[in-house]
A and B are shown apart, each in its own frame.
Chain A
Amino acid sequence: MFWSLVRKDLLLELRTKEITISMLAFGLATILIYALAFSVSPAMYRSFAPGLFWVIILFASALGLHRMFVLEKEFDAFSLSISAPVDRGIIFLAKWISGTILLIISEIVIIPPFVVFMGLSLPNNWLIMIMIIIIGNLGIMAIGSLVSGLAMRAKMSEILLPILLFPLVSPLLIGSVKATNGWFQGIPFMNWQFWVLLMITFVVVFALLGYTIFDHITEE
């Protein structure tokens, strides 16, 4: 059931390409704006890069999440999923995972120009950074799917979504930026493992909460 839902989300994205295109186009435009607005010294970029990166990802996610739930509202398609004998928690988990997959796909396009335009030289141990990004994405999409569920039927949902999302996601943002910075500056893992643990805690807490509570926010 879970995979049918994820498969549907990915198939929908394959047909429309709305979510990834909007996320990565927005990401690229923001990189350009950053490069123009902060055309200072390379050292500046170096210290700002982790923060800038996660701000781009967070803003792009808000856009993508909104699109994702708009697709469910068209033709009243969401009623198909929620009237089916499927646990609403599973619907949440599917939205969470497919959202994360789409975000990762956009990031694959966003990251190279980010590194090039900011003139960054990266450390070699890539695997750790990929892990940080995946955990960060899982966190954003866990709380993001929950908040989108709350906002999707509201008036001005496109405004309500980021207003609710940004303060709620702030601990994850701090953790992601700190961890990215630790990797980027080549600081030993011991010194910033706290932040990775905090991110994992965030992911686990909101994935579980979403699984339990999504039932109450899917109905009209």
Chain B
Amino acid sequence: MQRFFSYKINFLSGAVVLVAMVWNIYNIFTNTPMVPDQHWAQKIFYIHVPVAWTGFLSYFIVMLAGILYLINKEQKWDRLGLAAAEIGTLFVTLVLITGPIWAKPIWGTWWTWEPRLTTTLILFLIYVGYFMLRSFGGHPERTSRYAAVLGIIAFIDVPIIFYSVRFWEEQFQSHPQVEITQQIPDIVIPFLVSLIIFTMLFSFMLRFRMHVLKIIDPRNRL
């Protein structure tokens, strides 16, 4: 099995993602306008939201991979599901860290049961169970199938979780969350650029992880 970076296309895309991400962070800190009452705290928005988006995108991919795996039982869908679950959980963890970092200066508290943050937390806990099922579920040929099912259940639960927490405690609705469509272009454009770069980073990480999973799979050594 070839090493991941020995393919030119992988090396190239890795370099592009790295440069883009460094430029993106630089751009966020220097070229975006200061929002009057939030100052530096607002900068995390350019990271927090794209990270959350990629986290949910990965969990969506876990569900798709799960459906495909159950239909045709091909190993690559199992690897895709596992890789997406791992990366998704990494990003969701970052959401749960960056959320409070922003909330503390703006809302004066580390944690509020804000709907999106709460949904993210519940999903994170479901995925803790997902990895436990992967490790303790028995022989890997079976846990692949079970994990696929859990990935589907988890994502189908997302909208129900979101609507339930949205109307759960009404006072949490009053937080100042300006929708992205109502922002000025100076904010929207760097935000969208950041969103694209994070998605690029995600797709690169996913390809990398799938490659590693393929290498370490004992079935491919035979």
Contacts and interface: CB of A to CB of B under 8 A. Distances in A.
Direct contact of A and B (CB under 8 A): yes
Contact of A164 (B129, B152, B167): B129
Interface residues of B, number: 30
A190 B52 CA distance: 35
Contacts, number: 85
Nearest to A150: B146
B129 A171 contact: no
Contact of B145 (A151, A194, A198, A217): A217
Interface string A165-199: 01110111011001000000000000000100010
Given A146-B153, A216-B148, A174 B126 contact: no
A207 B58 CA distance: 26
What DSSP secondary structure best describes chain A's contact surface?
A: helix
Contacts of A201: 160
A209 interface: yes
Contacts of B157: 168, 171
Nearest to A161: B129
A198 B152 contact: no
Contact of B138 (A155, A168, A216): A155
Interface of B: 70, 122-123, 125-126, 128-129, 132-133, 136-138, 142, 145-146, 148-150, 152-154, 156-157, 160-161, 163-165, 167-168
24 contacts: A146-B153, A150-B146, A150-B150, A155-B136, A155-B138, A160-B136, A163-B128, A163-B129, A167-B123, A167-B125, A167-B126, A168-B157, A170-B161, A171-B161, A171-B163, A171-B165, A172-B164, A174-B164, A178-B168, A209-B152, A209-B153, A216-B70, A216-B148, A216-B149
Interface of A: 143, 146-147, 150-151, 153-156, 160, 163-164, 166-168, 170-172, 174-175, 178, 194, 198, 201-202, 205-206, 209, 213, 216-217, 219-220
The 10 closest A-B pairs by CB, nearest first: A171-B164, A167-B125, A164-B129, A174-B164, A171-B160, A154-B137, A167-B126, A163-B129, A155-B136, A171-B161
